[in-house]
Amino acid sequence: MIRVNGEDRPWPGGTVADLVASLDLSPRGIAVALDGTVVARSLWSSTRVVEGAIVEVVTAAAGG
């Protein structure tokens, strides 16, 4: 189980890239923080999301 944006969800394990794909989000315009630390996009495919992780996924929005 991991927590994504305040909601618990089952997690079979994988990387940040796997998680973003499982959320059906385009990686464009997204920032991901794992346990309070922003993960650079270049590290998404090599950064593991482990059981108990707290993840925040933020999408950019146009506006003013």
Residue 15: what are its φ and ψ, rounded to 5°? Answer: -105, 175
For residue 3, pLDDT over 70 is answered with: yes
Task: Look at residue 8 in the predicted model and tell me its pLDDT.
Answer: 98
pTM over 0.75: yes
Q: Which of 63, 55, 48 is nearest to 2 (CA)?
A: 55
Instruction: Give the position of tokens 């189980």.
Output: 1
Give 8-48 pLDDT, tens digit per residue. Answer: 999 999 999 999 999 988 888 999 999 999 999 999 999 99
* Average pLDDT taken over every residue of the chain: 94
Domain residue ranges of the chain, discontinuous segments joined by +:
2-59
CATH architecture of the region 2-59: Roll (3.10)
Specify the pairing of strand 48-49 against strand 14-15: antiparallel
